[in-house]
Amino acid sequence: MDDMKNYDVVIIGGGPAGSTAGIYAARASLNTLLIEQGMPGGQIATSDTVDNYPGFPSISGAELGSKMLDHAQSAGVDVDYTMVTGIERDDSGDFIIQTDSGSLQAPVLIMATGAQPRTAGFDGEDTFRGRGVSYCATCDAMFYRGKRVFVIGGGNSACEEGLYLSHIAQDVTMVVRRDAFRAPRGRVDRLLERDNVDVKYSTSIARVSGDRLLSTITFRDNRTGEEYDESYPEGSFGVFVFAGNDPVVDLIKPFIDLAGDGGVVTDESMATKTPGLFCAGDMRSKKLRQVVTAASDGAIAGSAAYAYLETCGRL
């Protein structure tokens, strides 16, 4: 086994939460390592445009994520692009992190692994993600001002996001795979009171297609199996998928409590029930999952890491 490398803080996840946690930890003179298994930015790296992060009226998600991680490195954070294969806690309370690059030890672990939106599974969903297929109305609704949107889902989040979109888009079509919504009646009634909202019941989206942006959407009638196309000018409509989110928590399940939404329970300092373990960003149980809230969580976690080490006499 490779020699154990020791750090004050190890951060897992190179998105906005992880990068910001690294900046604050490094600026507190903590020996900090950030581990990212993919590309900088996490989920935002798949967004064609981000226009609601303060100071950047329009920037690609990949560029914003890269700038954040570059900032962390310039502050003194070490970065390793590798896969984490396991996490344990030794008798002293330190975390032992196993990676494809070797073994690490640290008294503080900040998890910022995010949440993955559940996909609907239609053909073209991955191809047009960020180019007509979206999973966040708060993030992307403004790109469809005065345009047509199709919202997949019949639960609470789909109704809430559909209502939000109805104030921005010209037309909102709810695509519900069953013959009724699953959301509470009052929430559904509020949505359907909107003049620009209609519903396709017992319907799924089979595929989407187009050139650079969407131009054709194929529906499937779930009662008959019949499929039919609707075509519009390229870029004049979008598809929003609201099938829920799954926080990425598998590596730390023994050390945390989960809330009803599947997110990690933390206190205001981002601390979990396990001393020295902090969680930041979209993996937390929270109301709003945005770049700015992830960065805020990261700042708190990085600062809390210093306070924890000081209290423990590890500085």
pLDDT tens figures, 158-202:
998 899 999 999 999 999 999 999 988 998 999 999 999 999 999
Give the tens place of pLDDT for each residue, 135-144.
988 889 999 9
Catalytic residue, candidates 8, 80, 94, 139:
139
Does the pLDDT of residue 49 top 80, yes or no?
Answer: no
Catalytic residue, candidates 8, 80, 94, 140:
140
Whole-number mean pLDDT of the chain?
A: 94
Bridge partners (DSSP) of residue 32 are 9
48 is catalytic: no
Catalytic residue, candidates 136, 221, 246, 261:
136
159 is catalytic: no
Does the pLDDT of residue 69 top 60, yes or no?
Answer: yes
Give the tens place of pLDDT for each residue, 72-103.
999 999 999 999 999 999 999 999 999 999 99
136 is catalytic: yes
Does the pLDDT of residue 2 top 70, yes or no?
Answer: no
Q: Please report, rounded to a whole number, the percentage of residues in the chain having pLDDT higher than 90.
A: 81
Mean pLDDT of 238-266: 93
Quote the radius of gyration of the chain (alpha carbons, Å). Answer: 21
Token duo for residue 65: 């994520």
* Contact between 189 and 108 (Cβ < 8 Å): no
Give the tens place of pLDDT for each residue, 94-128.
999 999 999 999 999 999 999 988 899 999 999 99
Please tell me the predicted confidence (pLDDT) of residue 1. 42
